[in-house]
Amino acid sequence: MTTNLEVKVWRGKEDGGFVTYEVPRLDSQTVLDVVTYIQRHLDPALSYRYACRVGMCGSCAMNINGKAGWTCRSHVSHVAAGGKLEIAPLSNLPVVKDLVVDMTEFFDKWARAKGSFKGVLTRYDQFARVEPASKQRRAADAGIECIGCAVCYSSCDVVAWRPDYLGPAALNRAWTLVNDVRDIAQPERMRAVAGDAGCHSCHTQGSCTERCPKSLAPTAGIAGLKRLVVKAALGSRK
């Protein structure tokens, strides 16, 4: 006998609401399978995003029973308490429609945090050699696998309180670059992360680190930035 899941899905924009669907429960079913079933069999107008289905692209992130996560890697058996699912768009970003959010502000903040690499070498120079065991290389490597899914950003209550806060992903990116010995934009980057909306706004409770599907620790990177900013301020008073 096939059992059904009761699935509430957000429809519309910010002023929309939940619509309930009955979806057949299947073995090894993911939350993305559930959303796809609804769109293909029950309501073709449902909007959502995904690309890889295997935890590589980060585009399928949504709120699942109140917690942000990748729908393609969230098994129904792990998240559907009592056979019930509530699927909503990510928090802290404007809703375009249904389960799709506008990521513009999220990526603008990467730019504001000086999150792009600036080097000096040309194609004619030798590659820079960076010792894999060096402290800075290990710090950069620890945060480099971010794929920009915004799960951390959606989970951060400081972003909810003050929308100008750069947020965990942009600050994690800044931290990887602060530790990149080849990069020459460190003064601008330090100024960008030291501002009012930068690292000092983080309260270190760690929802970003708890939820990051790549097991990264933006909280630790932000703490590192705080230390560097304080050190630079003390140094400038000498």
Q: How many residues bind ligand SF4 (CB under 6 A)?
A: 27
Q: Yes or no: say if 230 and 222 are a contact pair by the CB < 8 Å rule.
A: no
Residue 224 binds which of ligand SF4, ligand FES, none (CB < 5-8 A, kind-dependent): none
SS3 158: helix
Residue 150 binds which of ligand SF4, ligand FES, none (CB < 5-8 A, kind-dependent): ligand SF4
Type of residue at 156: C
- By CB under 6 A, name the one of 168, 198, 221, 224 that touches ligand SF4: 168
- By CB under 6 A, name the one of 207, 221, 225, 226 that touches ligand SF4: 207
**Site for ligand SF4, residues 29 to 68, rule: CB under 6 A:** 58
156 belongs to the binding site for ligand SF4 (CB under 6 A) = yes
- Return the closest-CA partner of residue 141 out of 204, 221, 77, 68: 221
Q: Hunting for tokens 């002023």 — which residue is that? A: 15
| CA separation for the pair 127, 18 (Å, rounded) | 54
How many CB atoms are located within 10 Å of the residue 202 CB?
23
- Return the closest-CA partner of residue 27 out of 5, 48, 49: 5
- By CB under 6 A, name the one of 51, 111, 121, 128 that touches ligand FES: 51
Q: Hunting for tokens 């690292």 — which residue is that? A: 199
By CB under 6 A, name the binding residues for ligand SF4: 58, 146-152, 155-156, 158, 168-169, 172, 202-208, 212, 214, 216, 218-219, 222
By CB under 6 A, name the binding residues for ligand FES: 50-53, 55-60, 70, 72
